[in-house]
Amino acid sequence: MRPTDKNRELALLERFTETPKRFGAYRIALGFPNSYEIGMSNLGFQWVYRLLNRVPDLVCERFFFEDGEPAVTFETGAPLSEFGLLAWSLSWEMDVVNILKTLRAARVPERRDARDDRHPVLLVGGDIARMNPAALTPFVDIFALGDGERLVPRIAELVQSGFSREDFLSAAARIPGFFVPAIHGPRAEAAESGKVVIQQPMSRRDITPFFEVPHTTALTPRTELAEKLLIEISRGCTEMCRFCWAAYAMAPIKQYPASSILKIERDARPLTDRVGLIATAVCDHPEIETILAGLSELEFHIALSSIKIDAIEAPILEILARQGERALAIAPEAGNERLRRHINKKVSDAMLREKARLVFAHGFTRLKLYLQVGLPTETDQDVRDIVSTVADLREIAIAEGRAAGRVAQLVPSVNAFIPKPHTPYEDESLASEESLKEKLAFLQHEFEGMGNVAFRGMSVGEAVWEAYLAKMDETGADILEQAASGVPVRRLLKEHRERIAAVVRPESVNPAAAAAPAPWAFISKR
Ligand code: SF4
């Protein structure tokens, strides 16, 4: 067995903050259901890889998915079918189909009832497992619901048990946080109290100063975030915007001490000078200025994925601007205060203007604005207000740009609102395709005529598919299989229009079905 030539080349470029071991009595394959470049940009995947390799006698190898590539591990080129346990970290609905494609490439039967002792046990963890695992229940043996820190030791115990498939599943079903459809039933009817409890710290007291802050295990130039040391500075968000899955799933918020974060950064500094701070709301961290100042002292180039509008302050912008950062992303979400209040986004128009002025005054030349159409209660006026808000900010950019001699570009990036499980909007419908198309076309037309504005709109087909994957249940297994066999999503949306509408807009098809318990109702936090 040898890694593929491509993987060997990639492996030669990797540098580790903690070197994984290569030999041990037990092996596990941990997959990311997308390319190496995307998988290695995912902190959750990188962290679980590290945690598994720390278990004595257990070796964890990685695998990724790319169409047409062999289903083998990255490190040794071992066929996936040879492993006793295949685990995936699944953090995006759109990657669900890639799990089935991987099984096809590995010649492992996709349906769990077609597998026996000759085949690997399949386990899926990550955000999607705890959001709504129902779509994958016909295929996956075990779902791990919760944080890697809590669940990895239990997975390791199972792997080291030497159990047959049947005993393995029975043992997993007795572990808190593990959902085993073959034993618990597709809606966990047979689980204790009919629910599966997510395993995660439920109090800030669980985060001691000795808590190890998750960070990148392998640095590589070949990711979307080349050579960047990713480090999680907090988990959860206090804002609780009503559409935001992460805020509700991760609550209560956990913020890691600046001293622990900076220690990791100091240790990793000889390996890289690029750092990416990961959090649902980066600048909400009470010690953010200490963290940024410490990183700046260590001469790190700091990247923030996006910044909460109310947290924008001069000292933060100064640090970012001093190291040459010129682009920033913020999320007003809606074009006026009424709709922002409705979705619980606490940003007034005046605050938005004031913070944008501060950003442009610090020399930033690109401001990305995350916005949504199709939000609950949205009116045509709300959509028109997106245009006037951007026009307003553009005026500010022009006024501030005059002094600097360069006008900043505004990038309104408009997505369709997609209702997510476990949020107050989980029962909301996706807006109709026609209205989404109309609104996005209107915005595109309006922004085309505005200088220094570059509009980005989401594909409506993609929005419908994502909304379907987010809320579907096991009855859509045949649709996923068709997608895995290569039927284009466009065709699936057309051929299964009614069935997909019953999930994304239930009241439009069958009002009685809309009142049924959600497929994810058995997932509980306590
Ligand atoms: S501010 Fe951002 S991270 Fe926080 S709840 Fe709102 S959308 Fe989620």
Supply 193's token pair: 């109290």
- Asked if the model's pLDDT at residue 208 lies above 80, the reply is no
Digit-coded pLDDT (tens) for 312-369 = 999 999 999 998 889 999 999 999 999 999 999 999 999 999 999 999 999 999 999 9
Cα–Cα distance measured from residue 323 to residue 77, given in angstroms and rounded to the nearest whole number: 41
Ligand 1 lining (C-beta closer than 6 Å): 237, 239-241, 244, 246-247, 280-281, 308
DSSP assignments along 106-174, one per residue: HT--SSGGG--TTS-EEEEESHHHHH--GGGTTT-SEEE-B-HHHHHHHHHHHHHTT--HHHHHHHHHT
CA of 524 to the centre of ligand 1 (A): 21
CA of 331 to the centre of ligand 1 (A): 9
Q: How confident is the model at residue 384 (pLDDT cuts 50, 70, 90)?
A: very high
The residue whose CA has the least distance to atom 6 of ligand 1 is 241
What percentage of the chain exceeds 90 in pLDDT? 85
What is the predicted pLDDT for the residue at 224? Answer: 81
Cα–Cα distance measured from residue 391 to residue 446, given in angstroms and rounded to the nearest whole number: 10
Digit-coded pLDDT (tens) for 427-439 = 999 999 999 999 9
Beta strands 254-255; 327-333: pairing state: unpaired
CA 108 to chain centre: 27
φ, ψ of residue 141 in degrees (nearest 5): -80, -40
Average pLDDT over residues 214-236: 93
- Structural domains for the chain: 5-197 (3.40.50.2300), 227-325 (3.30.750.210)
CA of 332 to the centre of ligand 1 (A): 10
DSSP assignments along 11-39, one per residue: HHT-EESSPPP---SEEEEEEESS-HHHH
Give the global pTM.
0.95
- Asked if the model's pLDDT at residue 424 lies above 70, the reply is yes
Distances (CA, A) of 381 to 336, 369, 375, 387: 9, 19, 13, 10
The residue whose CA has the least distance to atom 1 of ligand 1 is 239
Nearest to 113 by CA among 194, 181, 29: 181
Average pLDDT over residues 105-114: 98
Residues in CB range of 6: below 8 A, 6 or more apart: 69
Which range has the worst mean pLDDT, 76-80, 106-110, 442-446, 515-519?
515-519
Digit-coded pLDDT (tens) for 267-294 = 999 999 999 999 888 878 999 999 999 9
CA of 372 to the centre of ligand 1 (A): 13
The answer to whether the beta carbons of residues 479 and 423 sit under 8 Å apart is no
What is the predicted pLDDT for the residue at 112? Answer: 97
Cα–Cα distance measured from residue 36 to residue 42, given in angstroms and rounded to the nearest whole number: 10
Residue 333 bridge partners (DSSP):
371
What is the predicted pLDDT for the residue at 402? Answer: 87
Q: How confident is the model at residue 403 (pLDDT cuts 50, 70, 90)?
A: confident
Helix (H) or strand (E) holding 499: helix 497-504
| Ligand 1 atom showing the smallest separation from residue 244 Cα | 8
Cα–Cα distance measured from residue 251 to residue 231, given in angstroms and rounded to the nearest whole number: 19
- Asked if the model's pLDDT at residue 235 lies above 70, the reply is yes
The answer to whether the beta carbons of residues 367 and 356 sit under 8 Å apart is yes
CA of 43 to the centre of ligand 1 (A): 19
Which range has the worst mean pLDDT, 66-75, 152-161, 243-252, 501-510?
501-510
